[in-house]
Structure 1
Amino acid sequence: MSLESHLETLQQRHSALDSEIAALRQKPAAGDTEIQELKRKKLVLKDEIERLRISRN
């Protein structure tokens, strides 16, 4: 897998998590713990994307 395709995959996963978080916030029974876990995963992906972008340059 090339670096560009890997970055694109990570960005897609990041966007998917963003959508999932937004959907959970709309549900009255959404647990804060679940939302926080998704936010943590999203942050990990963001950090990985930035790390790869920096190493690419």
Structure 2
Amino acid sequence: MGEFAQILQQLGAVNALNLDGGSSTSLALGGQLLDRSPVTAAWVSNAIGVFVR
């Protein structure tokens, strides 16, 4: 975790979150869902967006 924090700082991140990575975690990019297990995934209605300025 510490190494990841250092990388984020080097990239200019000021704030970061560490999410649980469990069955409710998904990754979407460009409008496509990239990694969601259809068998074990739990549906969650919350999201965090990351946008390039």
Normalising TM by the smaller chain, what interval? under 0.3
Q: Greater helix share, 1 or 2?
A: 1
- Larger relative CO (CA 8 A, sep 6+): 1 or 2? 1
Q: Greater strand share, 1 or 2?
A: 2
Q: TM-score, normalised by structure 1?
A: 0.25
